[in-house]
C-alpha cells in the first residue's frame, strides 16, 4: 500500500492517494476513521475494494496522461461547434458541401465510432470574442462541420498560436491527412500572400519550392474565386486544365459562366463534372467566336447599290445568304438557276479547290 501511495504522490506533487481518491470520486462519502477499526472486512467488501482499486488505477493512468498533456500545453477539451470560427486562410473548398463523398464518409465514421483525432484551435485573436469563449480553427474544419450536423461537441486541443504558426499548422495537417487538390493549394497560397505572409512562409506552409509557388499563384490569378467556389476542389483537374479554363474565362463576357454555375444541373453535379461542364461550354463558345472572327463576308449589290445577297467564307465553307429585301421569289429563282450556272462555270475549265 505504501508503494501505491508513493506512486500517487509522485504523480500529483505530494497529494496523498486517499486525497486523490476523494477528489476523483467526489460523490462517494469518505469512510469514517473508526469504521475500519471496528468492523472486519467481509469477502464481498474485499471484492468491492479490488474493483475500486482497479478503477482508481485507471483514473491514475488517465490523470498521468492529462498531466503530460498539460505539461506540453496539449489540453483536450470539448467545445460546442457554434463557438468555433473558421481559419482566416482559405484551404478546403468542400467542407461538407453537397456531393462530397469523403465528407459523408467522415460524418458516418464519427457517428459510429466517435471523433478519433482532436482538432486544433486557438483562442480567438479578437479579444472581445475570446472573452466570450470563441475560438478560431487551425485545422479540422471538416470534423467541425460533421460534429455540427451530428449535434455533438467537438474535441479540440487549444493552443496559443500566432498567425504564422496557425498557417503552418494548417498546411502541415492538410499535407498529412488529406492532400489538397491543385486549385485548393493555389488559393491557400493566394490567401496567405493576401494576408501579408511572405512567400517563404507560404511555401513552408504548403511544403513546396519557389517554382511550384509561382505556378500556384499563376492559376489563382487566372480564375476568379467565385468561379472556383462554385466548381469546388475538382481533384482530377491539374494546373494545365485550370490554366486553360482561366484563358477561356478571359474570353467570356461572363454571361455563359454565370448561366452555367447557377443552373440546377451544375449545382447537382459532383465537383469534377462541374469543372468539365463549364470548361466545355466556354470552349464551345470560344470556338464559335473564333469562327466568326475568321469569317469573311462580301455584300453583293445590284446596279443601284442595293444588297441582294451576302457571301460568307469561313475555312473551306462558303455560304450565300439572300435577304427578303432582295425581292420575293428571288432566292428560289437563284436556286433554280444554280445547275445552269455551275455548268457554265465547269465549261470554262475552272475547278474549285
Cα–Cα distance measured from residue 106 to residue 153, given in angstroms and rounded to the nearest whole number: 16
Q: How many Cβ atoms are within 10 Å of 21's Cβ, its own excluded?
A: 18
C-alpha torsion 178→183→184→190, nearest 10: 140
The separation between the first and the last C-alpha atoms of the chain, rounded to the nearest angstrom, is 108
**Do residues 140 and 169 lie in contact, with contact meaning Cβ atoms separated by under 8 Å?**
no
φ and ψ of 161, to 5 deg: -130, 135
pLDDT, residue 68, reads: 54
**Do residues 297 and 317 lie in contact, with contact meaning Cβ atoms separated by under 8 Å?**
no
pLDDT, residue 329, reads: 84
- The contacts found for 94-98 with CB under 8 angstroms, 24 or more apart, are 94/232, 94/233, 94/271, 95/141, 95/142, 95/145, 96/142, 96/145, 96/146, 96/149, 97/232, 98/267, 98/268
**Do residues 110 and 147 lie in contact, with contact meaning Cβ atoms separated by under 8 Å?**
yes
Domain 75-179 has CATH 3.90.1530.10: yes
Q: b/e string for 34-54 if b means 16 or more Cβ within 10 A?
A: eeeeeeeeeeeeeeeeeeeee
Q: How many Cβ atoms are within 10 Å of 174's Cβ, its own excluded?
A: 20
**Do residues 50 and 136 lie in contact, with contact meaning Cβ atoms separated by under 8 Å?**
no
φ and ψ of 300, to 5 deg: -110, 120
Cα–Cα distance measured from residue 20 to residue 56, given in angstroms and rounded to the nearest whole number: 9
Residue with cell 465510432: 113
φ and ψ of 224, to 5 deg: -60, 145
pLDDT, residue 31, reads: 42
Cα–Cα distance measured from residue 83 to residue 99, given in angstroms and rounded to the nearest whole number: 26
Per-residue model confidence as pLDDT tens for the chain (353 residues): 444 445 334 444 444 434 433 333 333 344 443 444 444 545 555 444 544 554 455 455 545 544 554 455 567 899 999 999 999 887 777 655 556 677 888 889 899 888 888 999 999 999 999 999 999 999 888 899 999 999 999 999 999 999 999 988 888 887 666 567 899 889 989 989 998 889 998 898 888 899 999 999 999 998 888 999 999 989 899 889 999 998 898 887 668 899 999 999 999 999 999 999 999 999 988 887 766 655 677 788 887 778 888 887 766 778 888 888 888 888 888 888 888 888 888 888 655 44
Within 271-314, strands assigned E span 296-301, 307-314
**Do residues 186 and 217 lie in contact, with contact meaning Cβ atoms separated by under 8 Å?**
yes
Please state the domain extents for the chain.
Answer: 2-30+48-72, 75-179, 296-347
Please give the order of strands across the beta sheet that includes 75-79.
Answer: 75-79, 154-158, 119-123, 135-139, 84-85
Cell of 299: 455584300
Q: b/e string for 326-347 if b means 16 or more Cβ within 10 A?
A: beeeebeeeeeeeeeeeeeeee
What SS3 string covers 24-50? HCCCCCCCCCCHHHHCCCCHHHHHHHH
Which residues, in sequence order, are CB contacts of 321 under 8 Å at separation 6+?
309, 310, 311, 312
**Do residues 59 and 24 lie in contact, with contact meaning Cβ atoms separated by under 8 Å?**
yes
Amino acid at each position: 500500500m505504501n508503494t501505491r501511495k508513493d506512486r500517487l504522490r509522485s504523480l500529483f506533487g505530494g497529494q496523498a492517494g486517499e486525497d486523490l481518491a476523494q477528489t476523483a470520486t467526489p460523490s462517494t462519502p469518505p469512510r469514517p476513521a473508526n469504521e475500519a477499526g471496528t468492523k472486519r472486512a467481509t469477502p464481498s467488501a474485499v471484492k468491492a475494494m479490488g474493483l475500486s482499486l482497479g478503477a482508481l488505477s485507471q483514473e491514475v493512468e488517465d490523470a498521468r496522461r492529462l498531466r503530460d498533456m498539460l505539461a506540453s500545453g496539449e489540453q483536450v477539451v470539448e467545445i460546442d461547434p457554434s463557438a468555433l470560427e473558421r481559419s482566416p486562410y482559405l484551404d478546403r473548398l468542400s467542407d461538407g458541401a453537397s456531393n462530397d463523398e469523403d465528407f459523408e464518409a467522415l460524418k458516418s465514421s464519427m457517428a459510429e465510432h466517435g471523433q478519433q483525432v482532436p482538432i486544433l484551435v486557438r483562442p480567438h485573436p479578437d479579444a472581445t470574442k475570446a472573452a466570450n469563449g470563441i475560438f478560431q480553427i487551425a485545422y479540422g474544419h471538416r470534423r467541425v462541420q460533421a460534429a455540427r450536423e451530428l449535434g455533438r461537441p467537438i474535441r479540440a486541443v487549444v493552443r496559443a498560436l500566432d498567425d504564422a504558426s496557425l498557417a503552418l499548422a494548417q498546411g502541415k495537417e492538410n499535407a498529412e491527412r488529406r492532400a489538397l487538390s491543385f486549385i485548393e493549394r493555389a488559393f491557400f497560397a493566394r490567401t496567405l500572400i493576401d494576408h501579408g505572409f511572405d512567400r517563404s512562409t507560404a511555401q513552408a506552409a504548403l511544403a513546396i519550392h519557389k517554382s511550384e509557388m509561382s505556378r500556384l499563384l499563376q492559376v489563382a490569378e487566372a480564375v476568379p474565386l467565385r468561379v472556383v467556389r462554385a466548381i469546388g476542389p475538382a481533384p482530377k483537374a491539374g494546373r494545365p486544365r485550370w490554366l486553360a479554363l482561366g484563358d477561356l474565362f478571359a474570353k467570356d463576357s461572363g454571361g455563359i459562366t454565370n448561366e452555367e454555375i447557377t443552373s440546377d444541373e451544375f449545382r447537382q453535379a459532383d465537383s469534377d463534372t462541374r469543372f468539365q461542364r463549364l470548361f466545355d461550354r466556354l470552349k464551345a463558345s470560344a470556338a464559335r467566336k473564333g469562327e466568326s472572327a475568321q469569317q469573311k463576308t462580301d455584300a453583293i449589290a445590284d446596279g443601284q447599290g442595293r444588297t441582294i445577297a451576302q457571301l460568307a467564307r469561313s475555312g473551306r465553307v462558303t455560304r450565300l445568304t439572300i435577304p427578303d429585301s432582295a425581292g420575293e421569289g428571288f432566292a428560289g429563282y437563284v436556286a433554280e438557276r444554280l445547275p445552269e450556272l455551275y455548268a457554265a462555270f465547269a465549261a470554262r475549265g475552272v475547278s474549285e479547290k
